[in-house]
Amino acid sequence: MKKIAFIGAGSFGFTRALVRDILSFPALADSTIALMDIDPERLAYIKNAVEKIIAAGNYPAKVLATTDRVEALRDADGVVCTILAGRVNVWRHDIEIPKKYGVDINVGDTRGPAGIFRALRTIPVMLDICRDIEQYCPEAIFLNYTNPMAMLCRAMQGQTPLRVTGLCHSVQGTAAMLAKWIGAPMEEITYLCAGINHQAWYLSYRWNGQDAYPLIRAAVQKPEIYNEEMVRNEMFLHLDYYVTESSGHNSEYNAWFRKRPDLIEQYCTHSTGWNPGVYAYILNEYLKRETTWKSEIDEWFQQPIDLQRGKEYAAYIFNATLGDGTPFEFNGNVRNFGLIDNLPEGCCVEVPVLASKRGLDPLHVGPLPEQLAILNNISARCEELAVAGAIEGDPRKIFHAVCYDPLTSAVLSLAEIQRMVTEMFEANREWLPQFKHFA
């Protein structure tokens, strides 16, 4: 019997889906699912949901629900993390303060000024979780879903010997989207994808072994497909390779789409995909859910349980490493030690990783095309500087990391960036005790 701990289990939709997937593997069907959250109300809801899944599948699994992280982690074989350090009323400062200075942010959970300050609040918590794992379940496979993915994984992998990687659904999600656009069954698609989180590239994309990029290029000429992902389609048409994650997200990670109101109107307002790119999109969605989450969960409880396995990586990884041992290749976030030749040594990259009974083995990719490496390098080096500043409590490094963020530097002067960063530090003062001064 395996024990799998969920830290931040109150992330209801995510935890529910991952538990469903994990228990669908026969070798993991008798697992103990340890649910931990600091919010007792959310914890009670997810405990009831997991019990309903177990009953519907007639699984021999057990549930443990606790607000005590040590109790959840003790003797765990696998750990999943989906925490949010600070509620929405804290996160909103990351979005709203830059907007005062002219930096228009769509999501703000990955990189740039908003992603960096989210990392500053979250890195100490993640390292505390790592210390507990080192003490209570040092051999566990630790899978992180919390953003900002690259900075958190870089901090953890640099400060702990744990077997930890970060997972994002954008790789398989985008691959499926491209397959749909060209009319290909997903089971006939193979690809090689590598880069950094939310900005990895399909270096090859094949349908039954044949290069499918000509088909993708033809597809994006159709207005209905071009309009679905305006930013990403523009990037593809000019950079020659398709990028992971939504147009809204990617509009923040470069200097091309959000630096002027006319560009925001043209590229970031009218896309028909799930995240068109409008200002504070995800923040506003979270604010809505602050008052609707209970009703949404109550509605779920009224529906029949769908036990069909989904496409998230975590369950397949646990089955490969802890279950029946079926090897599974996925894209994970790991440090760049000889994996991508023209990205910084030791930075966090997103590359193919093989999960097996041996553990997690990242695969060598080689160099990225130079036009892709330039863009990835800028963000990766900003993230390296931000992580160092977070661990050392050095606000100057944080300022310099924000200085070179592509969107911020396209909009603001150095003096304006300094004022913005100082204001963001002040708004986060109680969350950043590692910083003794903000000058």
**397-429 pLDDT, tens digit each:** 999 999 999 999 999 999 999 999 999 999 999
Q: How many domains does the chain have?
A: 2
Going by pLDDT thresholds of 50, 70 and 90, the confidence category of residue 439 is low
Residues 26 and 145 in one domain: yes
Q: Encoding tokens for residue 47?
A: 């405990």
Contact 419, 101 (CB under 8 A): yes
CA distance 323 to 29: 9
Residues 94 and 142 in one domain: yes
Residues 184 and 268 in one domain: yes
Chain segment 71-99, per-residue pLDDT in tens = 999 999 999 999 999 888 899 999 999 99
- pTM confidence score: 0.97
Q: Which of 240, 216, 239, 238 is nearest to 228 (CA)?
A: 216
Which range of residues forms the domain containing residue 258? 170-279
Q: Which of 166, 165, 200, 238 is nearest to 368 (CA)?
A: 200
CA distance 381 to 162: 24
- Predicted confidence at residue 221, as pLDDT, reads 98
- Predicted confidence at residue 87, as pLDDT, reads 81
Residues 152 and 61 in one domain: yes
Contact 133, 79 (CB under 8 A): yes
Residues 49 and 160 in one domain: yes
Chain segment 155-209, per-residue pLDDT in tens = 999 999 999 999 999 999 999 999 999 999 999 999 999 999 999 999 999 999 9
Last residue of a domain, one of 243, 264, 279: 279
Residues 133 and 75 in one domain: yes
- Predicted confidence at residue 307, as pLDDT, reads 96
Asked whether residue 102 is assigned to any structural domain, the reply reads yes
- Predicted confidence at residue 105, as pLDDT, reads 98
In 285-347, beta strands by DSSP E: 328-335
Residues 136 and 249 in one domain: no
Burial class (CB in 10 A: 0-12, 13-18, 19+), 283: buried
Question: Is the per-residue pLDDT at 289 higher than 90?
Answer: no
What mean pLDDT, rounded, does the chain reach?
96
Least confident of 117-121, 132-136, 272-276: 272-276
The annotation status of 89 as a binding-site residue, yes or no, is no
Asked whether residue 385 is assigned to any structural domain, the reply reads no
- Predicted confidence at residue 86, as pLDDT, reads 82
Least confident of 49-63, 96-110, 294-308: 294-308
Helices and strands per DSSP (H, E), number in the chain: 18, 12
Q: At what angle do helices 149-159 and 370-392 cross, to 10 degrees?
A: 60
Asked whether residue 191 is assigned to any structural domain, the reply reads yes
Last residue of a domain, one of 279, 306, 324: 279
Residues 124 and 207 in one domain: no
Residues 8 and 132 in one domain: yes
Q: Which of 165, 182, 164, 166 is nearest to 174 (CA)?
A: 182
- Predicted confidence at residue 296, as pLDDT, reads 87
Choose the catalytic residue: 93, 169, 270, 364: 169
Asked whether residue 89 is assigned to any structural domain, the reply reads yes
The annotation status of 137 as a binding-site residue, yes or no, is no
Residues 115 and 29 in one domain: yes
Looking at residues 356-376, what average pLDDT do you find? 98
- 169 catalytic per annotation: yes
- Predicted confidence at residue 288, as pLDDT, reads 87
- Predicted confidence at residue 430, as pLDDT, reads 92
Asked whether residue 397 is assigned to any structural domain, the reply reads no
Asked whether residue 33 is assigned to any structural domain, the reply reads yes
Q: Give the domain CATH number at 57.
A: 3.40.50.720
Question: Is the per-residue pLDDT at 286 higher than 90?
Answer: no
Asked whether residue 189 is assigned to any structural domain, the reply reads yes
Chain segment 346-365, per-residue pLDDT in tens = 999 999 999 999 999 999 99
Q: Any idea what the Cα angle at residue 346 is, between residues 342 and 352, rounded to 5°?
A: 70
Asked whether residue 386 is assigned to any structural domain, the reply reads no
- Predicted confidence at residue 436, as pLDDT, reads 83
- Predicted confidence at residue 185, as pLDDT, reads 98
Give 356's contacts (C-beta < 8 A, 6+ positions apart): 320, 321, 325, 327, 328
Residue 102 CA, chain-centre distance (Å), reads 26
CA distance 197 to 184: 25
Q: Which of 348, 415, 352 is nearest to 115 (CA)?
A: 348
Per cent of the chain over pLDDT 70 is 100
Last residue of a domain, one of 279, 301, 333: 279
Residues 161 and 177 in one domain: no
Residues 162 and 177 in one domain: no
Question: Is the per-residue pLDDT at 438 higher than 80?
Answer: no
Contact 145, 14 (CB under 8 A): yes
Alpha-carbon separation of residue 124 from 118, 133, 151, 250 (angstroms): 11, 14, 12, 27
The annotation status of 382 as a binding-site residue, yes or no, is no
Looking at residues 54-66, what average pLDDT do you find? 98
Question: Is the per-residue pLDDT at 222 higher than 90?
Answer: yes
